[in-house]
Structure 1
Amino acid sequence: MRKFLIPTAALGVLALAVVEVAPTIAQDASPTQFTANATVSPNKAGTKKKPQGVTLKFNAKWTTTGDVEHPIIQSGDVYIPKGGLYNGGKYPSCSAATLGRGGPDKCPAKSIMGKGSGDALADTVHTSPKITVVNGGKGVIYFWTVLQNPARVAAAVPAKITKDTSGKWSYKVHFEVPKSLQIVAGVPITLNTLNVTVGGKSWAKDYVATTSCPSSKKWQYSAVADLSTGGSVTYNGSTPCK
């Protein structure tokens, strides 16, 4: 049976911007299992007056058991905890139109904020997606993703960032996965692993930053992914801070 894509886990980097441990997963009996590990350096929080810029390193792995259809993640939302700060509006940015015309090479050099790679299957053949993290400005980050097999496809996955109004979180991030990254040359793609690094650039030291650590000494986060098979999967977690 062909496997279907769980694409663009890079978007999970925002959700896991302050994560050092694998998340708690509410899968609704889904046969797909997700494990993750991310590190934040440094993990000592800054303050509102002096935000602490951080480098984020995220590793993820997906496995689906049984002879079942593998779901496509079509869209979703991630919630960034209080104490997290996104400063995309301070730095050079690149538009979706520019990316679409020529990729990151056509963008300002200082709009590049990270990179990533992964392992995936195009039916039964391995393929290795390459990701470039591009600043889109005050309200968006682009994860430019390139696949070489079974055909070359390149597209930007936008993560739209808005201030959370519920009072529980700092930001809500909504993403939509382009269809061109879900099935390539008629072949469904299954993402197995992903490794992404964001931030820590010399020209944008506080692109992603922290401003506080709660009294619990834990940053909480949450994310919801909407599946092609219907319904959604939610994961929640926390990581110590100081």
Structure 2
Amino acid sequence: MRRLGLGLLVVALAAAGALAAIAFGQGDIVPIKISATVKVTPNKAGTPRHPQGVRIDARANISIPDDYDPPLVQTVDIWFPKAGNYNGGKFPTCGEAAMAHHGVSVCPKGSIMGHGRAKARADTVFTYPKITVVNGGATKVYFYVVLQVPARVAQPVAADISKLSGNPRWGYRLHAKIPRNLQIVAGIPLRYDSMHLLVGRGDWIATTSCPRDHRWRYHAEAAFDTGQVVKYDGSVGCRS
């Protein structure tokens, strides 16, 4: 079973949006305001012998000054602690090629792990991308994104999960490359304003412990086309 922290659900699911909100332009770092609320049900941690499956409700709001061009995220990496199990290998999976050609309608019902929606702007036109979280197996998860404005785009975003053997703090690393056609649509860079995701089914993600400070911690880095790498450390409250 793959050990994950709940930071995966706060950061990875908002990778193309919330992390992209820390912009770089006109030679300066843009002053950005980001707020997020996360509800974990239940927030009482399980144990190694009795892991506790959880469901996550995450909301994020992003404020970017209009006089800066939105940044373009190239990759997102997330490091998470040894505080839970990722059980992707136990559930049905759906392949990237199948989704790319036919959408999530061809995926087994048991492979769908969550849904979400974002609010974004293409110049002055609002668009509302829909997100489906799909199980990809023991080392992969997909975020299938569909938007209709300013042009229709339907694209699975693959995230690879790798074990970090011997690392004293982090158990696993998640790496995702953001497709170009989800950065610029019809020649217009997307500016994300908000995102809401509801994720989790059974013990697909299950907790096994809560640290003494009652915080599940994670570290994330986003690399932009400007050459800037933005780093972020966050946490989610828990109880034993």
TM tier relative to shorter chain: 0.7 to 0.9
CA distance in 2: counterparts of 1:16 and 1:148, whole angstroms: 23
Alignment of 1:100-111 (within 5 A): 100-111=100-111
Contact 1:84 1:211 in 2 (8 A): yes
The corresponding residue for 2:144 is 144
Aligned to 2:92: 92
- Following superposition, the deviation at residue 32 of structure 1 comes to 3.1
How much has 1:26 moved relative to structure 2? Answer: 9.1
Deviations 1:157-202 (A, max 9, x none): 1111112232212221111101111111212211111101110x3x
Cα drift, residue 87 of structure 1: 0.6
SS class of match (1:61): strand
Report the counterpart of residue 236 of structure 2 in structure 1.
Answer: 239
2:57 counterpart residue number: 57
Alpha carbons 1:16, 1:38 under 8 Å: kept: no
Q: Could you tell which deviates more after superposition, 121-130 or 210-219?
A: 210-219
User: What's the CA shift for 1:31?
Assistant: 2.7
Whether the aligned pair in 1 keeps the contact of 2:8 and 2:80 (CA below 8 Å) is no
- d(CA) in 1 for partners of 2:105, 2:95: 12
Q: Which residue does 1:226 correspond to in 2?
A: 223
Q: What is the CA-CA distance between 1:14 and the residue it aligns to? A: 5.5
Equivalent positions of 1:8-157 (< 5 A) are 13=9, 15=11, 29-65=29-65, 67-157=67-157
What is the alpha-carbon distance in structure 2 between the residues aligned to residue 238 and residue 149 of structure 1? 34
Equivalent residues of 2:92, 2:135 under 8 A apart:
yes
- State the alpha-carbon separation in 2 of the partners of residues 145 and 16 from structure 1: 14
TM-score, normalization by structure 1: 0.85
Unpaired runs of 5+ in structure 1? 1-10, 18-22
Aligned mates of 2:164, 2:61 — CA distance in 1:
28
8 Å Cα contact 1:81-1:220 kept in structure 2: yes
Cα deviations by residue, 1:88-110 (Å, 9 ceiling, x for unpaired)? 01000001011111010011111
**If the length of structure 2 is used for normalisation, what is the TM-score?**
0.86
**1:26 to 1:218, Cα distance in 2 relative to 1, 3 A:** farther
Q: 199, 214, 237: which one pairs with 1:217? A: 214
Aligned equivalent of 2:203: 206
Task: Give distance in 2, aligned partners of 1:53 and 1:40.
Answer: 10
Which sections of structure 2, spanning at least 5 residues, go unmatched?
A: 1-6, 14-18
Amino acid at match of 1:91: F
Q: 1:239 to 1:37 in 2, by over 3 A?
A: same
Give the match for residue 4 of structure 1.
none
Contact 2:70 2:189 in 1 (8 A): no
Identity %: 44
- How big is the shift at 1:222? 1.1
- Partner-residue secondary structure (3-state), 1:99: helix
> How much has 1:154 moved relative to structure 2?
0.3
Higher deviation after alignment, 220-229 or 138-147:
220-229
The answer as to whether partners of 1:32 and 1:70 remain within 8 angstroms in 2 is no
For 2:196, give the aligned amino acid: N
| Inter-partner Cα distance in structure 1 for 2:147 and 2:66 | 27
**Structure 1 SS opposite 2:189:** strand
Q: How many residues align?
A: 223
Counterpart amino acid of 2:235?
A: S
1:49 Cα deviation after fit:
1.2
